[in-house]
Amino acid sequence: MPKTRKMLCDWKAPYIQSLMRLIETQSKETLANWAITYCEERLLPLWERDYPDDLRPQQALKAAREWLSGTIKLPQAKKKILACHGAARDAEGNPVAQAVARAIGQSASTIHSARHCIGLAFYGALAVAYDQLGTAASWDEIEHCAAAECGRIEAALRSMAVEHERNPAKINWNC
């Protein structure tokens, strides 16, 4: 199997910059709901196809939703989210599933820190590109496909975005 990258990493890519600017206008709650919903609809099926009996990613998303609704505390949610990151480690050798689990873990972690939501693009878009093109495709092809997925990710956030959000998340990207 060809060497695969574990995530997109070009913070300066126009599709990442555009998404980051939109993220900066939204509240942590909106960002968490968006990232969780996108994972449930677009990424979780890719995980379930290969690991139908491993429920850690589903449980991380469920715990994040429960935290948002106030039914559980952050330490309880955090345990499920960390378990999802463990699922990513356990999926070594399956680049699609590994990237999906990382995207889900980062998306669920948005309840703790809003900046985690960018992991949806860096991991999730790569997972979709690997799923669609395979890991033998050139990096240019992979990145082109991932950029298109980032466009869909951004469109999903635009559809949920609160216009003139009064309490946007304060994000220091550190990049």
- Does 91 reside within a domain? yes
Residue 1, pLDDT > 60, answer no
- Does 46 reside within a domain? yes
pLDDT of residue 55: 98
Q: Yes or no: say if 28 and 110 are a contact pair by the CB < 8 Å rule.
A: yes
Residue 159, pLDDT > 90, answer yes
Domain count, the chain: 1
- The model's pLDDT over 6-33, given as tens digits with 9 standing for 90+, comes to 878 889 999 999 999 999 999 999 999 9
- Does 124 reside within a domain? yes
- The model's pLDDT over 101-128, given as tens digits with 9 standing for 90+, comes to 999 999 999 999 999 999 999 999 999 9
Residue 85, pLDDT > 60, answer yes
Distance CA(11)–CA(153), nearest Å, equals 16
Phi-psi region of 122 (alpha: psi -120 to 50; beta: other; left: phi over 0): alpha
DSSP annotation of 73 reads -
Distance CA(117)–CA(115), nearest Å, equals 5
- Does 125 reside within a domain? yes
Distance of CA 109 to the CA centre of its chain: 9
- Does 81 reside within a domain? yes
- Does 15 reside within a domain? no
Residue numbers of the domain that contains 65: 21-159
Helices and strands (H and E) in the chain: how many: 9, 0
- Does 166 reside within a domain? no
- The model's pLDDT over 34-76, given as tens digits with 9 standing for 90+, comes to 999 999 999 999 999 999 999 999 999 999 999 999 999 999 9
pLDDT of residue 2: 55
- Does 8 reside within a domain? no
